Each structure stands twice: as C-alpha cells, then as structure tokens.
Structure 1
Amino acid sequence: MAILPFEGELGDRVAEEVASQFTSTGAYSIVEPGILSPADASTYTASDRLDEVLAAARQRDIDAVLTGEIIESTAPKRSSLLHRAGLKGDDRRTLIVEYCLVDTRTGETLSKNTVRSLEPVADSSADATSSAEVEDSLIAQCSHEMVSRLSPKRCAVQALAKCMWSDRGVISVNKGNRCAASGNWSDAVDSWKAAVEANPHNDAALFNLALAAASQHEYDKAEQYAMRALRARHSDDYERGLENIRKQRAEFEERRTVSHP
C-alpha cells in the first residue's frame, strides 16, 4: 500500500502516523509515496490526478493507495447564544479526517469513511497540556481508528466462499470479498446482504455472512446463515464451517463462564 500525503493542515503528520501504525501492526507492506513520482510526490495529494497515481502504482505492483483530507483541525466556534448566556460551551479541539482506500487494479473505492477525535476534557488537577501535545494526541487517535478500520480482520472460521461466475449476485459477493480483504467488514456485510436479497439461495453470500457474524460472536445468527448456505448447496466446506462455528461458540461461552462465574 502507498499512503499519500493527506491534504490540509496536519495532513502530512496524519499520513506519517498512519504509515507508522500500519508498519507496526504488519497489516500491510507500506511503500514510500515518493516511489510513485520521485520528482514531485506532493502533487499526488490532488484528487484530480488519482488516475495518474493508480497507473504509477500498478506499474510498481502496489495493490492499494490511501488518500485523505483533513476536514477540520481547529476548536469549534462558540455559539453566540451560549456567549450571551455567559456559558463557556465546548471549545475543545477536534480533528476530523476523511480517508479513501482505492484498489489500484480496478480503480474501485474499497473503503471511504471519516474518523474523528476530540481533545480530552482537561483535568483541573493536572498540568496544562500544550498545543503540540494536544495535536499529537488527536493525530494518534484518528490514525489508530483509521488503521483499525482498514486492517484486514482474520476470518473467524475459514476462507471466504466465492461464487461461480454464473451465480446471480456474483458481483455483490465479489465486492464483499474485496471489502473484507481490505478490512472493511461493514461494507462487506452490506454487499453480501445485497447478494442474498437478489438471490436468497446464494450460498457463498450466506456462508460469508455466517463468518462475519461468528467474528462478532453473534453465534445464533452465524449458525442460521451457515445452515441456510448448506441447504442452498451442500458442501463439505460449509459443513466444516458450521462445526467450527459451534465449536467457537462453546469455547466462547466457556471463557465467559470462567470470567463471570
């Protein structure tokens, strides 16, 4: 993955922190953005040059490009109504970052979202926090949230199911699988549900929904989806998946019993 400098105030620092956190987690191999354009990498922050970015990334076998923009990095303005009433209001500094992860092969947006961090409430007994420390904290919070959302989550049971090219709903299933691979499980679930809505017997979508539910410890829902997948198409993989879900459920409930006797 290449992480381009984010646009706006603090953009470079946010991009650097995100790259650092991704490197620490090992979720992705991060390449320097300068490899895309050694002469002028900074110009690649402009959205109107995204096609050039993707072309350069494809030539260097880079799978994805992450871009972003700082939407807000200042303290909110005090309400005039609060001011007239003699109330202070909430003037803590806020950092809002919009990010977009793009598949370099297809140009498809894999994940686009906004993260927000808010300056903690000051502790009257503690020493005053400097502006630089507040910025560091906000950048770290936003970066952590972004990395958490984009990091691929290990599938709780086994590999995601794939559709035959002729199956109704195959486009939605494939899109969901790509979203899951990039860590965007929310959009992945939406895509698999769309596939099931188009074709209630789409076994791949049903089974992947079972995996997603199991990863959230929603075992009732996971078993229901897995059994629907089995009824739609009998498969040894689906049988093993259902067995694993039930095994995970038993282990989870045992751990919960030990923790909360």
Structure 2
Amino acid sequence: MVIFETKIPKEILSNPPKHVGIICDGNGRWGKKRGLPRTAGHEIGMRVAKDITYACAEVGVKFVTMFAFSTENWKRSKDEVNFLMKLFVRFFREWRQEAIKKGIRVNHIGLLDGLSEELKKEIKLTQVETLNNSNIVFNVALNYSGRTEIIAAARDIAKQLKEGTMDINDIDNQVFSSSLFTANQPDLDILIRTGNENRISNFLLWQSSNALLCSLPILWPDFRRKHLWKSFQGYYDNKSKREFSRES
C-alpha cells in the first residue's frame, strides 16, 4: 500500500510547476463501485476540481487544465450526457463569484458548437467576468479534442498564409503554439491522470510533448491534495534526474 505524504514538498513552494494538466478519470466507476449512479461520481468530481484548483493556486501554479468532457464523450448515454451538460451550467454559474474573489481566471478550451445556448452563455459570462484575474488560469477542457485543436491551428495558419499576413518561413513552434486554444500559455510540466490508465486520450497532444505523465490508481472523486503533492514530488524527482543526466 502506498502511503501519501500530506506535507507539501519544499520544491513546490520555491519553484512550483507552471502548468499542470489533469485528466479527471473515474467519476462513473466511482459511483458504480458504491452502488450509486454514474452521475454521483460526476457531482463529487466537480467539487474535487474546485479544491485542486485552489490548491494549485495556493502554491503558485499559474495554469491548470482539466479534461472535463471530450468530443468522444457524446457517445455516452443520453441521460448521462444531459446530466453533465446541466452540471457544467451549474459549475460555471455557481463558481463564478468565488473564482472572482480568489483571483482565478476561468477559461474554456474546446468547441462551443454542440453545446446548449444556456451553457455557452454561462461560459462566456464567466470568461468575461474573470478575465482580469491573475492568481491562476483554470482551463476547462469541455467538448475538447487534441487532434481537433491541432487541425484548427493548422487552418488558422493556412488562412493567414492565404491572406498574405504570414510568410511560410515564419512558421515555427512558437507561431504554431499561438494558434492553439492555449495560446500564450506555457506547455505542460506535468500531466496527471487518475483512474489507473496510462493513455493521454487525445488531450493536449502538442502541449504535453515534454510533460511528465503521472498515472494514479485512484479515481478522480478520491483525488486529494496529498495526491497532488505526491505527483509534484514525482515531477521534481524526474526533473532532477534529467538535469543530472545532462550535466554528466
């Protein structure tokens, strides 16, 4: 059995990772394991998302991106999808004022097409009202696909080339990154996945190219700050090994 330390590693306080990505997996399985509907896990998972965002902000992480709903998730049962869409409406609506107080900038990444008008309204309003917050940027990856994001970036660049506002020789990593949903944000330092899976599931494909993948056996509703600190410690241990390797 793994014993997780509750103490925050000293490296986090002095030099926290800049961008943390999280694949919040296991909500449905959490509910089923307890004889509850899958939706019960989603409800708890929403609360966990808030607390983990607060924890990241408290130690100085500047960007956190959570995978809330992929474009593939539309294949789930109609009842579950309908519940999730209503849950997202409530998430943006209820959390908006608290996010403002805590200096959290809430940002949606993904496609708006296919979302209800009510949900799109709440997303846009939350983005506008938290726009000037600077403690941390919280990206909600909702109706998101990494491949779709890259295709959209390629189309944006192709459009600029066609219009003559960009030269083909100008295209580099920085230019391509600026056309992604996460424009002007750093790449991931660490990608945490709950649910005991080792796949990145079409999440932030470009941005996670050099990120440490930390896969945990626990389900997302059971994820706590101690698990976050343990993941961060793994990031620093790995970083130290890579720096030692370069120096050798």
Give the TM-score range, shorter chain. 0.3 to 0.5
TM-score (norm 2): 0.34
**RCO higher in structure (CA 8 A, sep ≥6):** 2
TM-score (norm 1): 0.32
Higher-Rg structure is 1
